[in-house]
Structures are given as structure tokens and as C-alpha cells.
Chain A
Amino acid sequence: MRRAADTTVRAELSLDAVDRRIVKATEAGLPLCREPYREIAGRLGISSEEVMRRMCDMLAAGVIRRIAAVPNHFRLGFHANGMSVWDVSDTRVSELGARVGALGYVSHCYRRPRRLPAWPYNLFAMVHGRDRTEVLEKVARIADLLGGAKRGHEVLFSSRILKKTGMRLSREVTLGTRQPVLTVAGDR
């Protein structure tokens, strides 16, 4: 199993030491004060203009996806989470994957390898809903969109979070929540 060659081509912005310090200073979030970039700058001993310029560059390069809030989906009443997986014709999966990913209720959408014979699915789309019925209704709309290019699909509902610590990217930088979370949920 090789991994190095199978990721998509990426335009990499190489982060220098100052960028990494900015990442570290903002990993837990943007400061909650009127001038958050000035506050970060003060901590790092550089100008707020430099912080803002570097963060704009990281946004442009896709190192930062967005500067945004992440909701606790459970707290907003979205109790069901289904990973829908689809066997889509290889010639159409890129075009259709982009359309599925553009649906508002799909939070993650990837093409991944099939593992035949056990796993024929090459398109993964995560769907959230207030309950399972709502997830299945959304999945039905994805099925309509895929039409004849789809040969089969399944929905894998999550029933328990076993671990959620976030990604560890470097010895210095930890993203996401820091506390391991171990919860048992009836239906998520």
C-alpha cells in the first residue's frame, strides 16, 4: 500500500518559522477582542500588518480553509450523521463528485479507492441531519443527482464517537480540540 503517490497534486506554500508561530498562536482560535490580529502580533513581537499579510497568504494558498466558526452539530440539533458511500463510474466520478460536494448538506466529499471485492465504493459524502430520516432524504437527493452513473450505495450511520482529538501536524502544532473526547451517544 503506497501513500506518497496517491494524494492529489497540491500547490504547497512552504511555511517558515514565523508562519508556524502564527499557526501555533491561532490553533485554539482567533482572539476575542476588537483587534485580534494586533493581539497576535503583540504576542509574537511582529507588526499586525505582517500577521494579516501572512494570514492572507495562507488563505490564498489554502493552508487556511476559512476563518470561521465550527458548530457542535449535536448542540444545533443535528443528531444524525451518515457517511454515504457510492460506486460511481470512474469516467464520471470527478464531475459528479464536485456536484455532490457543492450540496449544502454535504460536509465532506472525497473520491477514495475501491477495495474490491469487499468495498466497491469510490465516492464518500458525509451527510448531517436532525434525525436519520432527514439524512436518508438527503441521501435520496444525492442518488437522484448521480442518476445512471451510480451502480450502488450504502449509508453508514455513526453510533458512537470513540475518539476525537483533532490532528497533530507537527511536534509543535496541534489543531482541533485538545482533550480526548469519549462519549456514548444514542444516535449520531
Chain B
Amino acid sequence: MQEPHTNAQLDLSDRRLINRLQHGLTVSERPYAEVAAALGMGEDEVLARLRGLLDAGILTRFGPLYNADRMGGAFTLAAMAVPESAFDYVADIVNASPEVAHNYRREHRLNMWFVLASEDPERIDEVIRNIEQSTGLQVHDFPKCEEFYVGLYLEA
């Protein structure tokens, strides 16, 4: 499925706003007025454009981006080598766990990569064992040892 919209539809003000909003805002009483002043727009124009970009799905979110792992959660990145013939079947089993937050197919012998998140570190090991038992496949687990950067900036 090719999504229909690309940045061709965005005007210059939208692009400047998207780029500015990807950088962090400070906490202040009138945050949109501060953005507006920096971009030479009106506060209400910023709000209207932001609402439009969210409604159109060009932005998926605007607001505080929480770092789950500072809130006491446990995470890991896991990968499996899934035979083609069983791929959808295994994807259904993996996706059925609420602890699986994201799951991507990637082009590699290890062709299924998913993130597991839970409040309870032991729960992650349980889910991995359950997936191994249900599928008969080994789950490789790559917990983070050191975080260097998290944040997406894409120039609109």
C-alpha cells in the first residue's frame, strides 16, 4: 500500500513548522505563540496548521515524548529467522502478545524484528519463551547495553 500523500502537498509554512516542531519545545504558558514568533506566523495559524498536519497523518504525534525506560519499564529488541512458508503464521503468534510494541519484516536471514516492552523484566523472558515454544523457532534477544541517541528528525 503506497500512501497517497507526500511532501509535495506541503507549502513552505507547513515545512518550516514541521521542521521547527521536530526540535523540542520548552515548557511555557504559550508554547505555540513562541513557535509562531520564531517563524513569523500567528499563534492561531500555528495551531490551525498543526491540527491540519495531525489530521492528515503527516505528523503522527505532537506532545511530550516519554522515555518509557525512565518510567521503570523493561525492553528488548528481538529477532527470529522465520521460514517463508510460515511467516504470516509466526507473525500472528508474535503480534498476539501485548508486550510486542513494534514488529518489522526485514530483508535478512533474521527476517522478523520486534520490540518487547513490559513493566516487569521477567515478563519479557516469559514472552520470549512462549514465542519459542509456540513456534519452535529460536528468538535472539538484543537488549540495549548503551543508548547513544534516540530521536527522529526528517527535513520536510
Contacts and interface: CB of A to CB of B under 8 A. Distances in A.
A44 interface: no
B7 A65 contact: no
A55 B31 CA distance: 13
Interface string B1-30: 111011110000000001001111111111
Nearest to B25: A67
A48 B2 CA distance: 43
B45 interface: no
Nearest to B108: A156
B58 to A, nearest CB: 5
B6 to A, nearest CB: 5
Interface residues of A, number: 95
Contacts of B154: 71, 73, 76, 78, 128
B29 A168 contact: no
A124 B108 CA distance: 15
Nearest to A53: B27
Interface in A1-35: 1, 3-4, 6-8, 10, 12-13, 15, 23, 26-30, 32-35
Contacts of B1: 183-185
A103 B132 CA distance: 37
User: Size range of the interface on B?
Assistant: 35 or more
A140 interface: no
B95 interface: yes
A46 interface: no
A166 B106 contact: no
B56 to A, nearest CB: 8
B89 to A, nearest CB: 12
Given A33-B47, A156-B106, A69 B73 contact: no
Contacts of A164: 101-103
A94 B65 contact: no
B57 A167 contact: no
B38 interface: no
B62 A70 contact: yes
Contacts of A6: 143, 145
A119 B140 contact: yes
Interface string A139-177: 000000000000000101111111111111110010111
Contacts of B131: none
Nearest to B129: A1
Contacts of B54: 29, 32
A42 interface: no
Q: 9 shortest A-B CB distances, which residue pairs?
A: A101-B149, A101-B148, A69-B21, A66-B24, A29-B63, A30-B63, A162-B103, A111-B146, A160-B105
12 contacts: A34-B30, A36-B32, A64-B64, A76-B7, A109-B148, A110-B148, A112-B144, A119-B110, A158-B107, A162-B114, A167-B101, A175-B68
